[in-house]
Amino acid sequence: MAGKLTERFVSTQKQEGRYFDGAGLYLNVSPTGKKSWLYFYRFAGKRREASLGAYPLNSIAKARRVAADFAEQIAAGVDPLEVRHRGGVNAQNGGVSFKAFADQYLADKKGGFRNAKHFAQWQMTLRVYAAPLHDMVIDQIKTEHVLNVLKPIWLTIPETASRLRGRIEMILNAAQSLGLIPEDRPNPARWKGHLQNLLAKQEKSKNHHAALAYKDMPNFIQDLRGREAVAAYALEFAILAGGRTGEIIGARWSEFNLDEALWIIPAGRMKAKAEHRVPLSTRALEILAIMHKAKINDYVFVAQRDRPLSNMALLQLLKRMGRNGEAARALGRHITTHGFRSSCRDWAGDCTEFPREIIEQVLAHTISNKAEAAYRRGDALDKRRILMQMWCDYCEGMQSKVVPFKSQHRQSALE
């Protein structure tokens, strides 16, 4: 039975230790005097520990309510920590998810970033690559969970992976400072003496993203089309649109004007924080039509549980195709999702007469030359539309017969 502790005792106790309230609930006082609630229980013969948040943010009455809820779940044969891992908990019922805390952390720190681009990079890496952590209660994140996020990208995009690790470590440190994680628990994302012992040594290379030679693209596309999966459609769409991974997996139906064969990506989702218009080729429209038949929500490429596709799904697809990972690297076949942008860039530069600035606009690259940037007024949509259809034809192994975009091409892909 709970109720051994009083509000006065909890508020005034400063001596380090754990104080039993009853029914598995304890008040934990750290060496520095910070207080938090712990709940101990047994499930399937194993002793488990759950954090119920910091005091006084979580009052004694609230801690008892959550402990009682946990006890009911256990009696029903359900492990409450597993419920947390599946996202069945929030700040109201005893836990704070990684995503909720990370969003608040970024909001609080926004003014401290050196520029808007740096802030956007933080947002993108946490949103795209740390997605497996989003629904986890922050005090339940362990080394294995951090490794699951880092390993798929550790050697393929090492710079991004290293930055992501540091960002996860900083977020978990902040949560610990607020008492959301027990003070005596080591940070599972720390590098020195920990993850450095578990992750492979990264090779320093000037080639940030391994790319497929454009001469091999038609065969690759043929192989890709033999795989009827959402990830396969998403990857082909990324190749045809010249898009970044985050832009593709975050694509929403509300961003598309299919009557005009146009995808308008809002500034908030672009690396350069400027709206980007993408002319859609015939095959890109076909993919959208296929996806629309299975539409569940506003996301175009939807995974299980009605969520947007994860970037990990694209990497796993490349691995199944023998194109990503250590085995592929040993055979000289290793490529990355982002590398397809380089494939498109190399093809356009070698095989077409389009000027460099048009090609750079296809890839939504910012202009470093201030004089050139000052003279560029439009986004050369009509010229880019021709170039993107030529790229589509090339990927399909066809000799391009592109003509200026006419009205009959503007029929909705859904008709």
Predicted pLDDT of residue 3: 67
| Residue 208: burial class (beta carbons within 10 Å; 0-12, 13-18, 19+) | middle
Instruction: Report which of residues 226 and 180 the model is more confident about.
Output: 226
Q: What is the pLDDT of residues 354-398, one digit of tens each?
A: 998 899 889 887 655 554 444 455 678 999 999 999 999 999 987
**Closest-CA residue to 135 (of 199, 85, 74):** 85
User: Taking the CB of residue 251, how many other CB atoms lie within 10 A of it?
Assistant: 27
3-state secondary structure of 279: strand
Highest mean pLDDT (candidates 138-142, 159-163, 286-290): 286-290
Distance, CA of 102 to CA of 97 (rounded, Å): 8
* Residue 349 clears pLDDT 70, i.e. is over it: yes
314, 337 contact by CB (below 8 A):
yes
* Residue 261 clears pLDDT 60, i.e. is over it: yes
300, 243 contact by CB (below 8 A):
no
Instruction: Report which of residues 256 and 336 the model is more confident about.
Output: 256
**Closest-CA residue to 152 (of 311, 22, 323):** 311
For the segment 105-129, the average pLDDT, to the nearest whole number, is: 82
Predicted pLDDT of residue 410: 38
Predicted pLDDT of residue 142: 94
* Residue 74 clears pLDDT 50, i.e. is over it: yes
Q: CA 220, 224, 230 angle in degrees (round to 5)?
A: 150
Highest mean pLDDT (candidates 204-213, 222-231, 361-370): 222-231
3-state secondary structure of 78: coil
pLDDT band at 72 (very low <50, low <70, confident <90, very high): confident
Q: Which of 62-76, 162-176, 256-270, 331-345 is least confident?
A: 62-76
Output Rg (C-alpha) for the chain, integer angstroms.
26
* Residue 291 clears pLDDT 90, i.e. is over it: yes
* Residue 12 clears pLDDT 50, i.e. is over it: yes
Predicted pLDDT of residue 110: 79
Give the neighbor-by-neighbor strand order of the sheet with 17-22. Answer: 17-22, 25-29, 35-43, 46-55
pLDDT band at 2 (very low <50, low <70, confident <90, very high): low
300, 288 contact by CB (below 8 A):
yes
Give the neighbor-by-neighbor strand order of the sheet with 256-257. Answer: 256-257, 262-265, 276-279
Distance, CA of 365 to CA of 243 (rounded, Å): 11
Distance, CA of 309 to CA of 297 (rounded, Å): 12
Half-sphere exposure for 307 (CA within 13 Å, toward CB)? 13
Q: What is the pLDDT of residues 81-111, one digit of tens each?
A: 776 655 444 433 446 889 888 888 888 887 7
pLDDT band at 207 (very low <50, low <70, confident <90, very high): very low
For 214-410, CATH number out of 1.10.443.10, 3.40.50.720, 3.40.50.300, 3.30.1490.100 equals 1.10.443.10
Enter the DSSP assignment of 13.
Answer: -
7-85 has which fold?
A: Double Stranded RNA Binding Domain (3.30.160)
Instruction: Report which of residues 297 and 179 the model is more confident about.
Output: 297
Beta bridge partners of 90: none
Average pLDDT, the chain: 84
- Structure tokens given for 6: 């009083």
User: Taking the CB of residue 106, how many other CB atoms lie within 10 A of it?
Assistant: 16
Tokens 């629904």 belong to 135
Q: Does domain 98-197 have CATH number 1.10.150.130?
A: yes
Domain boundaries, the chain: 7-85, 98-197, 214-410
Q: CA 213, 215, 217 angle in degrees (round to 5)?
A: 80
**Closest-CA residue to 244 (of 276, 212, 282):** 276
**Closest-CA residue to 291 (of 112, 169, 413):** 413
H-type alpha helices, 296-380 = 311-320, 326-330, 339-351, 356-362, 370-375
